[in-house]
A = this chain, B = another copy of it.
Amino acid sequence: MARSIRRQLPDEDIIYFGDTARVPYGNKSRAAIVRFAREIMAFMTEHRVKMVVVACNTASSLSLPSLKKAYRVPVIGVIDPGVKEAVRVSKSGRIGVIGTRSTVASGAYDRELAKFGPPYRLFSKSCPLFVPLVENRFSNDRITYEVARRYLKGLKAKGIDTLILGCTHYPILKTVIKKVIGNVRLVDSSSAVAGEVKRAFLEKAPEACRRNRRGRMKCFVSDDAEGFRRIAGMFLKEKINVKKVAL
């Protein structure tokens, strides 16, 4: 996600916050996630950011309305751009989404797709083992293929033609998911979100994008930087500067 945004808005500085002391969010309650998200928003506003991207599908699903209501700074989530992209590419209207247990239970994707009405229908499935499999480097392992077959069997039977990867970690499993689910379009929301961020920027602060130096990216984490580097290396392909902070 951060990588896509950097590609779209190379001049902008990015403040990235990873809540490594409390991840994973995927099985936690709305109340906990809203509280965590508000604490992170407070951190972001202290850094006087111009815009916040909630780049976690669980946090987007559960905290976005509450954040939008509470803060003046524009807040962009990852649900809406993923759904729009799925609607754009789906031919049959039969769209699948996979995510964490809390994302699926929130109904956020259902509500978003319902806005488009027929023929669009959503089929969802939580895949709670995918995050630990990615984080423990089983991404290309036959164990992960077996888990994926188990999780995706039902969606396959529904005859979906498009599948939204509704969790930040799932794009790492693209090859596995593609092989298991067959001829289905996979929607990785990150480029859709980056497009949305750029549009919102141009609308609200057109001058913001014109500068003559490459933007900087600063990463902050709530627990040791070491564990974060282990995971972040899979996603970001540049050297990163990480600092631990207490929320």
Question: Contact residues of A with B, CB < 8 Å?
Answer: 20-22, 27-29, 31-32, 128-129, 132-133, 135-136, 138, 142-143, 146-147, 150, 222-224, 226-227
| Residue in chain B with minimal CB distance to A126 | B136
CA distance A69 to B28 in the complex (A): 33
CB contacts (< 8 Å) of A146 on chain B: these are: 142-143, 146
A21 to B19, CA, bound (A): 12
Query: Roughly how many angstroms separate A31 CA and B245 CA in the complex, as a whole number?
Result: 12
Contact assessment for A29 and B227 in the assembled complex, using a CB-CB cutoff below 8 Å: yes
Q: Which 8 A-B pairs have the closest CB atoms?
A: A29-B224, A132-B132, A32-B223, A21-B32, A128-B136, A22-B22, A29-B223, A28-B223
In the complex, A32 Cα to B32 Cα: how many Å?
18
Residue in B129, B222, B226 whose beta carbon sits within 8 Å of that of A136 in the complex: B129
- Complex: A27 Cα to B20 Cα, angstroms: 10
Q: How far is the CB of A21 from chain B (nearest CB, A)?
A: 5
